[in-house]
Structure 1
């Protein structure tokens, strides 16, 4: 099993799909920044009108696309130079999106290292949502009532995710923990957040400004959280003491989402989550070319490769969250039981 990934990695390296895609990324970076400028020009020119809420929607979409580009750069998909990737991601996150690059990479790297593993993956750690039977059993009273119906609250909760991401970012850069380049991140992040809110408040009447911020933050959370959630939620939860080889750890705990170019756009290419987890530094546009290679290789090994439709993925997520006590009762339910045993 330890050789399985090495064989696949050699095949992919020889295919040339790990090469950088400079034209693709430069075009997306430039066009997305232009779109951001156009939205702000529209805000200034449109003035005192409730039509500004349409620009709030547009701003949320553009900021999510910038976040996806920051994600790609943090994974070193964009440039050969590690420094260029890191600083591009840092600027995109802090200056444009208003999120701490240090906070995001620490959390996201832990997720990639052990997806859906209890005690290791922060995305399934105890929080508002209970992802494991043990956490579910500990919820009593109104928290227990909520936990047994949490799937129905999943999308409403996503509207608060944008605010949550900003708060977590500020707490990180102002906290006592180790934050790489804190002296750069802290002023950039805080200046961006203050100037953004200040500009909206100065340019728009109070009622419209409040609604604008609510729509932008709410939709930003739904779009960003909605792009990540269907890729792992509802897949097997791995016990803290389990030892799974790299290939199966990434494939069996991930789910691909079928869809058109619209799905690819709004999910930032993360709909091909299995390929992204196996080759996180592979440029986003190459994931569709490596997918047939990975799928065929998994079939050869007898490793279950999961891919579902867009709406089906969300039905799975909601169903799973509403019935964590039963659906996650055995972390090694099919397909893991048949392939790895206990």
Structure 2
């Protein structure tokens, strides 16, 4: 299942997901929202342009660090727009989605759109499956005790204290996003690899030229650090509540589509501000069940999905934002237990 492809009912006639999907469709919740996305894209574009205009007007001033913080939040919103575009929530045609996604992702924030889309597609197909979901690969952190016992290198070192290091490490997520996009260019199977590389390198060149042209070197480096670190922290804080701390699937654990998505996802309670700050991903359960549903429809869909899950006896988890972080950190701490035990045993 590609990230930009609308979810379709499972082949099994009368499946739990098929009946839910019918209810959702009957309520018109899969219909596109051109007015909403026109306003949202125009607002984000205006904030993006306004941030860089303020940067140029302020010039060599330490107040530029405030602009860096502002642009970190704007970059996060651009990433959320790219996410919706990739799922074809915005445009009906694939071509329009790809062009818009590359403008927002590659050009706007220096994110490898093709690399991210492939990774995100595999995540949606098998969320929280330690063998199939790239988001729970132990590349730096360990997500289960099984991974901890097999860990080597950095994951083995960091895993012992990963719950305490999680949010500090998010400060590096912006840099990781850029590096991962550039590293993916070595993969010959990457779609439109030449275009992807040209846009990524173009973004990096323009970004760094602007910083060092307008600001003295020390101030430029400070701007770079504040901007990218806060961008990474914001982006990581958006995605951390969605699946971290939820059940980890392994091996042949393959529940049906509805349960695979619901049981591994967590919703976050909140009002309109939460919807904007998290880009609608606070309705993670509904988003995973219906990835191509426009994000402003997710709030309405939640009432239907939650009631349907209750009728089926399927656990539907919704918490506050702080509780979601606490559950995620607690899960990370438990996952690293074998590494702490091994260190204690070795010391003894």
Q: TM-score, with normalisation over the residues of structure 1?
A: 0.92
Q: Deviations over 1:147-196 (max 9, x none)?
A: 122011000000001000100001112x0331111222111111011110
| Correspondent of 2:219 among 202, 208, 214 | 208
In the TM superposition, what is the alpha-carbon distance from 1:143 to its structure 2 partner? 5.6
| Correspondent of 2:179 among 161, 167, 171 | 167
| Inter-CA distance 206–24: structure 2 relative to 1 (3 Å threshold) | same
In the TM superposition, what is the alpha-carbon distance from 1:326 to its structure 2 partner? 6.6
Deviates more, 1:130-139 or 1:270-279: 130-139
State the partner residue of 2:249.
238
| Correspondent of 1:76 among 64, 81, 88 | 88
1:281 aligns with 2:292: yes
Kindly report which structure 2 residues correspond to 1:30-49, keeping only aligned pairs within 5 A, or say none. 30-49=42-61
Q: Is the 8 A contact 1:223 1:266 kept in 2?
A: no
Q: Is the 8 A contact 2:268 2:321 kept in 1?
A: yes
Q: Is the 8 A contact 2:144 2:335 kept in 1?
A: yes
Q: Is the 8 A contact 2:130 2:248 kept in 1?
A: yes
1:304 aligns with 2:327: no
State the partner residue of 2:121.
109
1:258 aligns with 2:285: no
The answer for unaligned runs of 5 or more in structure 1 is 328-342
| Inter-CA distance 40–150: structure 2 relative to 1 (3 Å threshold) | same
State the partner residue of 1:248.
259
Deviates more, 1:318-327 or 1:34-43: 318-327
Question: How many aligned residue pairs are there?
Answer: 326
Deviates more, 1:143-152 or 1:187-196: 143-152
CA–CA separation in structure 1 for the residues paired with 2:229 and 2:162: 19
CA–CA separation in structure 2 for the residues paired with 1:142 and 1:10: 47
| Inter-CA distance 183–154: structure 2 relative to 1 (3 Å threshold) | same
Q: TM-score, with normalisation over the residues of structure 2?
A: 0.90
1:271 aligns with 2:286: no
CA–CA separation in structure 2 for the residues paired with 1:276 and 1:102: 21
In the TM superposition, what is the alpha-carbon distance from 1:137 to its structure 2 partner? 1.4
Q: Is the 8 A contact 1:269 1:285 kept in 2?
A: yes
The answer for unaligned runs of 5 or more in structure 2 is 1-9, 339-348
In the TM superposition, what is the alpha-carbon distance from 1:260 to its structure 2 partner? 2.5
State the partner residue of 1:331.
none
Q: Is the 8 A contact 1:76 1:82 kept in 2?
A: yes
State the partner residue of 1:199.
210
In the TM superposition, what is the alpha-carbon distance from 1:240 to its structure 2 partner? 2.1
| Inter-CA distance 47–189: structure 2 relative to 1 (3 Å threshold) | same
| Inter-CA distance 177–119: structure 2 relative to 1 (3 Å threshold) | farther
State the partner residue of 2:78.
66
In the TM superposition, what is the alpha-carbon distance from 1:292 to its structure 2 partner? 0.2
